[in-house]
Each structure stands twice: as C-alpha cells, then as structure tokens.
C-alpha cells in the first residue's frame, strides 16, 4: 500500500506558482520616489538605469532601454539595416517574438534546428541554412545557457553576417569568461518581463559596443525624434522644438519601470546564486529519475538558470502532459513548457511553409520538456515539495 504523500494537496499546501517576481521595499520606494518626482516617462531614472546596466556589464557597452525585448530585437535589426528581401537565421526553440521581430521588418526568419544536449541553436544547422540573402543570425541563449558563440562568431565572420543575441534569459551569463553582452557581436537584447531574471514589469535593454547602432536605436525608440524629450530641457533650442528625422516607433521605457529596474539590477547576482543553489538541489534528486537534466555551462562559465527544464526520458512512466497535469492537480505546483517551437504555431506553419517535423530535434525536445519552478521566492519547504512531487510521479 502506498503511504499518503506529505507533498500532496492538503489544506496547508499553498499553491507554488511557476514564476513569481521578487519585489521588495527597495523597488517600491524607488517607484514612489519616481512618482513623487513628477517625471514618469523616460527621464533621469531611465538614464541612470542605462548607465548602471552598462557598468554592470563592465562599462564598455552602450545600453539603450526599451519597453520590451521584442522591441529591442526589432530596433537592433532595423539599425543594422535588416529589411525586405533579407533572411535572418534563428532557433525554432524560442518565443515567437524572436521570429516576429524579423518578420515585422519585412525580412524572413529562417529556422535552424537545435543541438539536443544544450537545446541551443546548432552551428552546423546555421551553416546549412545560409543563402545569398542571409543578413544576420539571432542566437537565443536558451534557459540562460550561452550558445556556442565561438563557432557562431566564426560563421558570421566567414559569411559577413550580423549577430544579434537574444539574451532574454541570460542576465547574468558568461561565455569563455566574458559576460554575455560583452562578446564580439553587433547587439545583445535583454528582457525584463515579469518572469525574467530581473524585471521592470515590462521592459528590455539593447546593449551594443557600436555607438552608431545605439544612436539609431535611441532615435527609433521614440518616434524618430532627433533628441529625446529629456534632452530638450537641457538644449539651447526652444523647449517645444523637435525634428522628426526617421520613421520611428514608440517603445521607450518609462521612469517608473526604470525605477524597478534600478533596484532589481543590484540584486541580479544574488538572484542568480539563489537559482543556482535550487538547481543544484534539483539535480541531486532528479539524477536518479528517468529524466534528462538541463545541461550545465562549460567549466568556469556562468549559467543564468532562468529556467530549469527537464526532459522526460523515453522510458518515463507517464507522458509530459500527464506529468504537468498531476503536478498541478495533486501537488498544486505550477509547471510550464519552454518552448512551443515556432514551427508548431499555425501562423508560422503557413508563413514559413514548415511543419512540426521540420526541426526534429526541437520537436522531440518540446514533446518531453517541462519547466519546473525556479525562482527566488521558493522557500526550502517549497523546494522539498517540488522534489518530492517529481520523484513520486516519476517513480515506477
């Protein structure tokens, strides 16, 4: 007879959400300070957040804040001249916006399958997808694990392609001892969506060493106005004066969002350490189970551990869908799936003439993948409940 599990639903078992932002007094005080200052949209706090973000990455980069990573990807590629007739190679194993930002510029996303172990884009598949029209590559550092950037940079140099890194999961992560954001690429894009490693509610950051790209992004994020609104208060021209110099967008960050970001950024390293500690606790228990554990970063490098994605082994006793359903119904633990591949969505299937089976490694990864909660608000007892639940469900 099976004993009734302590991890199972009882009245004192509060639901464990899949993700939860870690907002404290510091964030709240900073937002109040912003609201009391009377300046709500892009202003001094946005400036300070950009300066601190650049310094966090070592100071040798320009940081341009935006209202989302999606906007950041679009602006960075626009600044690089990506447009109609161009192809941009990216991973099928990402959120739709990576590919959508390419499409919105009039260019065509070309997908290249992933490597089974890392779940990151496979450099051999990038090479196979290059045509005369290829203009750029967007590697996605899935879950916070850096892509094989040495090979990707070599391929880009050989074929004269731009690289825009989708680093939505990768704050902070490193590759060959260098922080992501400081590599020899054209731009790196971060997300501060509510579930990401640090948050501003909604927000993103474009990081680049190229001053011309940064300048173009600054103009295009705010209507194509030559100088931003805050500048107008320090300019010698009359305050009402501005000039539209390009067909810009509207995707600047607010000072209220930057206020949250200023406080969150000071905690980014501590957050990473906490997630890594939870990851180690998970690995220890799950290594005995019929699952593929997430791949570690190479020795000496930092994995951001934004996500902890296990894949159920082929001999696991139940299906992925059933696993997630039981985690929820029997244990009140929220799980998720990262990602439903680009080529599994109806819009993309039609647009790119692809099917679920076009990228077999991504398809297999998706069918077995489960993202477990991995956030800094998990208590020791939450972690114990999660490891017990996974063990009970997967033990035959």
Ligand X SMILES: *Cc1c(COP(=O)(O)O)cnc(C)c1O
Nearer to ligand X, 220 or 389 (CB): 220
CA distances, 100 to each of 74, 333, 349 (Å)? 9, 31, 13
State how far the Cα of 48 lies from the Cα of 45, in Å rounded to an integer: 5
**Residue 69 interacting with ligand X (CB under 6 A):** yes
Q: 345 and 311 in contact (C-beta within 8 Å)?
A: no
Q: Which of 54, 65, 70, 371 binds ligand X (CB under 6 A)?
A: 70
State how far the Cα of 111 lies from the Cα of 267, in Å rounded to an integer: 35
The secondary structure of 220-240 as a DSSP string is HTBTTBSS-HHHHTTSSS-TT
Q: Which of 49, 162, 193, 286 binds ligand X (CB under 6 A)?
A: 193
**Residue 165 interacting with ligand X (CB under 6 A):** no
Q: Which of 42, 94, 264, 371 binds ligand X (CB under 6 A)?
A: 94
**Residue 371 interacting with ligand X (CB under 6 A):** no
State how far the Cα of 132 lies from the Cα of 365, in Å rounded to an integer: 30
Q: Which range in 10-18, 166-174, 205-213, 317-325 contacts ligand X by CB under 6 A?
A: 166-174
Reading the block at residue 226, the tokens are 């030559």
State how far the Cα of 238 lies from the Cα of 335, in Å rounded to an integer: 55
CA distances, 204 to each of 27, 30, 359 (Å)? 17, 19, 29
Nearer to ligand X, 294 or 331 (CB): 294
State how far the Cα of 218 lies from the Cα of 251, in Å rounded to an integer: 10
Active site residue 196: yes
**Residue 97 interacting with ligand X (CB under 6 A):** yes
Please state the closest distance from residue 237 (CB atom) to ligand X, in A: 34
Burial of 364 (0-12, 13-18, 19+ CB in 10 A): middle
Please state the closest distance from residue 362 (CB atom) to ligand X, in A: 13
Q: Which range in 80-88, 90-98, 131-139, 219-227 contacts ligand X by CB under 6 A?
A: 90-98
Pick from 359, 327, 353, 322: which is nearest to 340 by CA? 359
Compute, in degrees rounded to 10, the torsion defined by CA atoms 128, 363, 174, 97. 90
Catalytic residue among 4, 30, 133, 196: 196
Encoded one letter per residue, x for contact with ligand X by CB under 6 A and - for no contact, window 233-272 reads ----------------------------------------
Q: Which of 65, 90, 191, 272 binds ligand X (CB under 6 A)?
A: 191
Please state the closest distance from residue 166 (CB atom) to ligand X, in A: 5
Please state the closest distance from residue 182 (CB atom) to ligand X, in A: 19
**Residue 140 interacting with ligand X (CB under 6 A):** yes
Q: Which of 27, 62, 113, 166 binds ligand X (CB under 6 A)?
A: 166
What does the radius of gyration of the chain's CA atoms come to, in whole angstroms? 22
Parallel/antiparallel/unpaired status of strands 204-208 and 62-66: antiparallel
Exposure string for 188-226, b = 16+ CB within 10 A, e = fewer: bbbbbbeebbbbbbbbbbbbbbbeebbebbbbbbbbbbe
Nearer to ligand X, 74 or 316 (CB): 74
Nearer to ligand X, 42 or 387 (CB): 42
State how far the Cα of 205 lies from the Cα of 188, in Å rounded to an integer: 8
Q: Which range in 35-43, 63-71, 261-269, 347-355 contacts ligand X by CB under 6 A?
A: 63-71
Please work out the total of residues on this chain that contact ligand X, with binding judged by CB under 6 A: 14
Please state the closest distance from residue 94 (CB atom) to ligand X, in A: 5
Encoded one letter per residue, x for contact with ligand X by CB under 6 A and - for no contact, window 195-234 reads ---------x------------------------------
Tell me which residues touch ligand X (CB under 6 A): 68-70, 94-95, 97-98, 140, 166, 168-169, 191, 193, 204
Active site residues: 196
């Amino acid at each position: 007879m099976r004993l009734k599990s302590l991890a199972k639903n009882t009245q004192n078992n509060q639901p464990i959400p899949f993700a939860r932002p870690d907002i404290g007094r510091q964030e709240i005080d900073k937002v109040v300070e912003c609201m009391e200052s009377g300046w709500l949209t892009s202003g001094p706090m946005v400036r300070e957040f950009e300066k601190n973000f650049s310094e966090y990455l070592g100071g040798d980069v320009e940081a341009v804040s935006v209202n989302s990573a999606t906007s950041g990807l679009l602006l960075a590629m626009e600044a690089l001249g990506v447009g109609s007739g161009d192809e941009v190679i990216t991973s099928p194993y990402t959120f739709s916006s990576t590919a959508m930002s390419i499409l919105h510029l009039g260019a065509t996303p070309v997908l290249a399958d992933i490597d089974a172990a890392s779940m990151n884009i496979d450099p051999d598949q990038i090479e196979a997808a290059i045509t005369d029209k290829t203009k750029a590559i967007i590697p996605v550092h899935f879950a916070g694990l850096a892509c094989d950037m040495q090979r990707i940079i070599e391929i880009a140099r050989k074929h004269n392609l731009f690289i825009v890194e989708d680093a939505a999961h990768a704050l902070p992560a490193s590759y060959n001892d260098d922080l992501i954001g400081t590599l020899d690429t054209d731009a790196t894009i971060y997300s501060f969506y509510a579930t990401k490693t640090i948050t501003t509610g909604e927000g993103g950051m474009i990081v680049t060493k190229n001053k011309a790209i940064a300048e173009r992004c600054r103009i295009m994020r705010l209507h194509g106005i030559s100088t931003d609104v805050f500048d107008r208060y320090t300019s010698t021209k009359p305050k009402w004066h501005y000039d539209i110099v390009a067909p810009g967008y509207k995707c600047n960050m607010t000072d209220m969002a930057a206020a949250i970001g200023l406080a969150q950024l000071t905690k980014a390293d501590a957050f990473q350490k906490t997630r890594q500690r939870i990851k180690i606790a998970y690995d220890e228990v799950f290594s005995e189970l019929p699952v593929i554990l997430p791949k570690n970063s190479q020795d000496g490098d930092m994995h951001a551990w934004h996500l902890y994605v296990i894949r159920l082994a082929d001999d696991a006793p139940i299906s992925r869908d059933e696993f997630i359903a039981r985690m929820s119904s029997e244990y009140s633990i929220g799980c998720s799936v990262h990602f439903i591949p680009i080529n599994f969505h109806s819009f993309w299937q039609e647009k790119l003439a692809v099917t679920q089976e076009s990228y077999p490694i991504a398809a297999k990864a998706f069918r077995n993948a489960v993202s477990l909660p991995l956030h800094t608000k998990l208590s020791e007892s939450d972690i114990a409940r999660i490891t017990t639940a996974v063990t009970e469900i997967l033990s035959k």
